[in-house]
Amino acid sequence: MKKSAQEKNAALKLEGVSKSFPLNRQRKTVLQDINLVVQKGEFVSIVGPSGCGKSTLLRLIAGVEPEFDGVIEDEQGTISGPGRARGMLFQEHRLFPWLTVRRNIELGAYNAKLGSGELRALVDAQLTRVGLTEFAEAFPQQLSGGMAQRVSIARTLMGSPALLLLDEPFSALDAFTKIRLQTELASIWASTGITMLLVTHDIEEAVFLSDRIVVLDANPGRIKQVIVNSTTHPRIRTSAQFNAVRESLFRALNLTAVSDHRNLSLAI
């Protein structure tokens, strides 16, 4: 069958994806009939109530959850396990405390078979990208939480993934650091063209970063609505356009939005 233009440009395609776990001698369905196409270079966020299967869906795409129904494909074909084409960024930075920032970043290219000079140049480029050149020889315990997460981002990008999966990477950070890193991530996305798929509980984060926002229902997790975010770049968090998308997301989640400008984000 001939592929459509949308399918030809797809970085990720999910068809009829469902996932269940054994629970009390029965099967608990966590995800049900997920159908989604993510285009190359697109930034898509997944939001929904706790327990709706957001992180489980991300692990399925990463290839670390082995059993599920349906089909998941990336540009290289059917996903059946982990692969270098998909990078994963977690809530915790997961740096090795006994290695310097430079050595931690180098691990992202562990299987790339690079010469020492080429490897150093690539690490230097990533250090510049995340603004940590002067901390190259520091150890993780000498970094702030935001800096450590930037190292993690740099390490993940060393593998040159076509698809970057982000599982609430900024949820443990303070509000000011979170906003700075969201802006840096948006800049990295714009400069690299990497397709990004973000799981988040933060409504403002989803609106700030995403081209589209996938809203999941719970019990079982299924797609309730997909919101297209046409807000122009650079995005201004206090603009009427930004807040119109934010209000749409509140409604899709069955939440009552607070119009007071002091409450621009909500964790659910």
Q: Is the pTM of this model over 0.85?
A: yes
Q: Is the confidence at residue 262, as pLDDT, over 70? A: no
Determine how many CB atoms are found less than 10 A away from the CB of residue 237: 16
Does the pLDDT value for residue 37 go beyond 80?
yes
Cα–Cα distance for residue pair 92/222, rounded to 1 Å: 27
Q: Give me the pLDDT at residue 24, please.
A: 83
pLDDT at position 238 is 94
| 204 burial via Cβ count (<10 Å: 0-12, 13-18, 19+) | buried
Residues 157/108, Cβ–Cβ less than 8 Å = yes
Report percent pLDDT > 90 for the chain.
78
Q: Which residues lie below 8 Å from residue 75, measured CB to CB, with a gap of 6+?
A: 10, 11, 40, 85, 162, 163
Q: Tens of pLDDT along 101-143? A: 999 999 998 877 788 899 999 999 999 999 999 999 999 999 9
What is the pLDDT confidence band of residue 181, given thresholds at 50, 70 and 90?
A: very high
Average pLDDT, the chain: 90
Tokens 């327990």 sit at which residue?
51
Q: Contact at 8 Å (CB) between 208 and 186?
A: yes
- The answer to whether domain 5-85+161-252 has CATH 1.10.260.40 is no
Q: How far apart are CA 122 and CA 124, in angstroms?
A: 5
Residue 23 pLDDT grade (very low, low, confident, very high; cuts 50, 70, 90)? confident
pLDDT of 53 higher than 50? yes
What confidence score (pLDDT) does residue 112 get? 75
Supply φ then ψ for residue 207, to 5 degrees.
-70, -40
- Residue 240: count other Cβ atoms within 10 Å of its Cβ: 7
For the chain, which residues make up each domain, given as ranges? Answer: 5-85+161-252
CB neighbour burial string for 36-61, b if at least 16 within 10 angstroms, e if fewer: bbbeebbbbbbbbbeebbbebbbbbb
Q: Is 187:34 a contact under the CB 8 Å cutoff? A: no
Question: Which residue is it, tokens 């230097």?
Answer: 124
Q: Are 38 and 94 in contact (CB under 8 A)?
A: no
Instruction: pLDDT band for 93, please (50, 70, 90 cuts).
Output: confident
Instruction: Please check the confidence at residue 213 and state whether its pLDDT lies above 60.
Output: yes
In this model, does residue 172 exceed pLDDT 80? yes
| CA atoms within 13 A of residue 145's CA, in its CB half-sphere | 13
C-alpha to C-alpha distance for 89 and 141, rounded to whole angstroms: 19
CB 42 within 8 A of CB 11: yes
